Homo-oligomer: A and B are copies of this chain.
Amino acid sequence: MENFTFNNPTKLIFGRDTLDELKTEIPKYGSRILITYGGGSIKRNGIYDRTLDLLAALDMQIFELSGIEANPRLTTVYEGITLCREEKIDFILAIGGGSVIDATKAIAVGALYEGDVWDIITGQDEAKKALPFGTVLTIAATGSEMNPISVITNWETKEKLLWTSPYVYPAFSILDPVHTFSVPKEQTIYGAVDIMSHAMEHYFSAAPNTPLNERMVESLLTTVMEAAPKVLANPEDYEGRATLLFCGTMAFNGVLNQGMNGDWSTHVIEHAVSAVYDIPHGGGIGIIFPHWIRHHLDTTEKKMKQLAIRVFEVDPVGKSDREIAEEGLKRLRQTWDQFGAPNRLMDYQIDDQRLLEMASKAAPSGRIGGFAPSTLEDVTEILKSSL
């Protein structure tokens, strides 16, 4: 087991009618509140109105930043930063999914940073502080509601970058499964795939002796595989939605990967694809992950075999390790096919025209990955097999 530090200060508020907790949480931070959200689904499903009513009853002064994109853009982050400075915002409330929360993290840091927040996102400088912010999560997927991670896209440079800072843990996150009832089928599928991919990125780890964490990851994968079909068949299945929502947070809040180090190449490759073609993250990740596992099967075989037996119920009797791993990989692909996830980049009209551009963006220094290192050539091959 590798040395680690775990310290997650986010207050997770989970369950039915928990939006009311805003009444207790918000006044701790001030009275000038910026609400951030995306395309307006929160207006259709009533969360927007309920939040505004709650804040109005608290005599809060409300400002808004709407229209945050699915792959949130640096230009939108700048807009939010200007608003925070001009309006002397005390607290930001992000209502939405990963994109809204990720943008909010960059805004929270940028508002108190004298330079250009892009320097922090690119790692040229470090955040020293951030405006406090909370979240009302509306989709099971990201994990951003309880971690210090954000992904921002700069369309000028066509870069989609992941950055972290200990100052961007949400102060609180409110997770009401009912808020996810109206998530469209496609987004529900992407979310389930994304959750499983986060858990698997931890799992393919070179750290020795992580038996509890491996089993907890397997627990989470099995649970998502049980819950997702229920929710896809009945979008208002409270218990199924609750399970997915909870799994989404647990997959990426630092609990499962204590003492592990993971790989994360698949995420890096998908971010490069999204930076060029702006496709949904969960869609891309579900296409690429099995190809990453197969490409590196010499390295991934042992863990894939364990997954095959413990999660995908492959009977190991009479099979070689490679056969068991292959069979597990096949069932992983089948699982995502059954969810209805895309399985080829062609599904997004992506062909081999810009393969090298994407590969170079994924591995600008020529090498990525913590468990099974991928060179530029590896990335190109993984992308080619994903077409």
Contact = CB atoms under 8 A, between A and B. Distances in A.
A6 B172 CA distance: 10
Nearest to A251: B212
Contact of A208 (B1, B13, B239): B239
Interface in A1-59: 1-18
B4 A15 contact: yes
A83 interface: no
Nearest to A240: B209
Contacts of A215: 216, 218-220, 222-223
A14 B258 contact: yes
Interface string A153-170: 000000000000000000
A246 interface: yes
B10 A14 contact: no
A50 to B, nearest CB: 17
Nearest to A226: B211
A192 to B, nearest CB: 14
A227 B211 contact: yes
Interface string A211-244: 1100110111011001100000000000100110
B11 A5 contact: yes
A243 B18 CA distance: 36
A20 to B, nearest CB: 11
A193 interface: no
Nearest to A217: B219
Contact of A219 (B18, B218, B246): B218
Contacts of A14: 1, 3-6, 258-259
B18 A13 contact: no
A219 B212 contact: yes
Interface in A86-120: none
A255 interface: yes
Contacts of A7: 9-12
Contact of A242 (B15, B209, B243, B247): B209
Contact of A209 (B5, B10, B239, B258): B239
Which are the 9 A-B pairs with shortest beta-carbon distances?
Answer: A3-B15, A215-B219, A7-B11, A209-B239, A6-B12, A1-B242, A212-B223, A211-B223, A5-B13
7 contacts: A1-B177, A7-B9, A14-B259, A209-B239, A212-B223, A215-B223, A216-B216
